[in-house]
Structure 1
Amino acid sequence: MKLKKSRVIFLLILIFIAVKVFQIRLLSSENIIVIDPGHGGMDPGTVGINQSLEKDINLDISKKLYKKLRLKGYKVVLTRNNDEYIENIERANLANKKRARVFVSIHCNSIESDNHTNGVQVLYHPNRNDKVNNLHNSVLAQEVLDSILLNTGAVNKSIVERTDLIVLNQTKMPAVIVECGFLSNKQEADLLLTKEYQNKIVNGIIGGLERYVN
């Protein structure tokens, strides 16, 4: 009986040590997450069919994402936390300076001539290994998209390669742009203004990030 108890205690000690080692790895400086609320200041981004401004929705979602990630123990940096204009190269440079583990830019989509299209899309720079590990940006993009779709039930607009976007081609870590929905679609534009739907998007992004980082 004493032998069994000692084995149990030994196993518990091993589990405790393993958990602590995992937490140290998870919260290391290599795992800073940079959240980038797209647009801002004099650049409103897309103006929704319901007159919503993309820059405001981006910031709302980003702040919620920031708070939830912080509560989970991650180190998080926002490229902006108010309505200010920041050059895209400055956003990329900030992430590089912080040696971020991942970079996530929050945006909304729009098609001026089409108010029917809706759904979530994730953009990434193709065929480039990051400098933290060997996974491609497409892996991060797919993980984040799959998790958002699971949480929101939104239409799958797929992951899309983009080589022309500064926050994707100038960042030195896995980087994605999350297009949270189409502001040219009335139903989706209205949803994106609600805290409930924004939180679903946030939970989806976090789920994708955790699967990727861990």
Structure 2
Amino acid sequence: MKKEGFLLPVFTRLPKRSYWLVGAFIAVLGFLVAGLISGSLERRSIEALSRVMVNRVVVVDPGHGGIDPGAKGSGGAVEKEITLAVANKLADFLRQSGARVILTRETDTMLCDPDTSGLLAKKRQDLSRRVNMANENKADAFVSIHVNSYKSDSRQHGAQTFSQPGSEESKELSKSIQAEVIRLLKNTKRKPKEVDYFTGRESQIPSVIVEIGFVSNPEEEKLLQDPGYQTKVAFSVYAGIVKYFAASRE
């Protein structure tokens, strides 16, 4: 209706179902916006702390490789492929913060001599060379990325960090990474554990293993193969590393 040059709004009563749909849409939109804001703020808070990483030397170790595939999932996931993908993403985050990153492997390979006889001997040589990279470069941290498997119970899920008993610095690094994994991934309540393992025992620097999930769990196996989720995992590990070094400066 028009009157003296002014347009008057015409209000139409919506059906009750339409009100419900509009309300649901607004609620979902609000949830998505809140999530984006929260994620953006989280990244900014980590970026504000990331100056502590400048000139830090971090050895990132993608577990397994070459003739050693590691764990396999029923859906085709292979540990050595997942660990390399996540390790590369973690390395990118660390480099962006000014850290010097050493990857123990950048391709699908095993760090052993071709003429080394027997798989066990190859694995031992491979592990020795990985940890030696950290020791010889006097790295500030050694972070080994792995994938878990528990075939007798496919319900097991969630990332978990491990450190060598007796190493207080490794324990603190493990706790820091686990805290960020819990907070950012929101799909695990696992606690950091101390276990005796070769690279931790031989390492002269703070070192941890991060088991980023279970390929024996069908749902988590799919997640671990998803590049977007791999980025989230890498960022949560990165955030834990940053907060560990930030706390060590206090």
1:83-136 Cα distance to aligned partner (Å, 9 max, x none) = 00121010000100110000000000000111111011101001225xxxxxx3
**Structure (1 or 2) with the larger CA radius of gyration:** 2
- Measure how far apart 1:26 and its partner are: 4.1
SS of match in other structure, 1:181: strand
User: Counterparts of 2:53 and 2:184 in 1: how far apart (Å)?
Assistant: 24
| 1:12-23 to 2 correspondences below 5 Å | none
- Measure how far apart 1:68 and its partner are: 1.6
Aligned to 2:228: 196
| Residue among 157, 165, 186 paired with 2:218 | 186
User: Counterparts of 1:47 and 1:92 in 2: how far apart (Å)?
Assistant: 24
- 2:155 matched to 1:128? no
User: Counterparts of 1:53 and 1:128 in 2: how far apart (Å)?
Assistant: 31
User: Counterparts of 2:223 and 2:91 in 1: how far apart (Å)?
Assistant: 20
TM-score by length of 1: 0.82
Decide whether the 8 Å contact of 1:148 with 1:200 is kept in 2.
no
- Measure how far apart 1:49 and its partner are: 2.1
Equivalent AA in structure 2 for residue 71 of structure 1:
Q
Aligned to 1:114: 153
| 1:162-177 to 2 correspondences below 5 Å | 162-163=195-196, 165-177=197-209
- Measure how far apart 1:154 and its partner are: 1.8
- Measure how far apart 1:212 and its partner are: 0.8
Aligned to 2:140: 101
- 2:179 matched to 1:146? yes
SS of match in other structure, 1:46: coil
Aligned to 2:129: 90
Equivalent AA in structure 1 for residue 194 of structure 2:
E
Q: 1:26 to 1:186 in 2, by over 3 A?
A: closer
Aligned to 1:27: 54
Decide whether the 8 Å contact of 1:120 with 1:158 is kept in 2.
no
Q: 1:182 to 1:150 in 2, by over 3 A?
A: same
User: Counterparts of 2:215 and 2:190 in 1: how far apart (Å)?
Assistant: 14
RMSD of the TM alignment (CA)?
A: 1.4
Identity %: 33
SS of match in other structure, 1:157: coil
Aligned to 1:48: 73
Aligned to 1:74: 99
Decide whether the 8 Å contact of 1:69 with 1:76 is kept in 2.
yes
Decide whether the 8 Å contact of 1:124 with 1:160 is kept in 2.
yes
Equivalent AA in structure 2 for residue 45 of structure 1:
G
Equivalent AA in structure 1 for residue 140 of structure 2:
R
User: Counterparts of 2:183 and 2:229 in 1: how far apart (Å)?
Assistant: 13
1:25-61 Cα distance to aligned partner (Å, 9 max, x none) = 7433xx2000000000000000112121000000000
User: Counterparts of 1:155 and 1:71 in 2: how far apart (Å)?
Assistant: 27
| Residue among 160, 174, 181 paired with 2:193 | 160
Aligned to 1:3: none
Equivalent AA in structure 2 for residue 111 of structure 1:
Y
> How many residues get paired?
183
TM-score by length of 2: 0.71
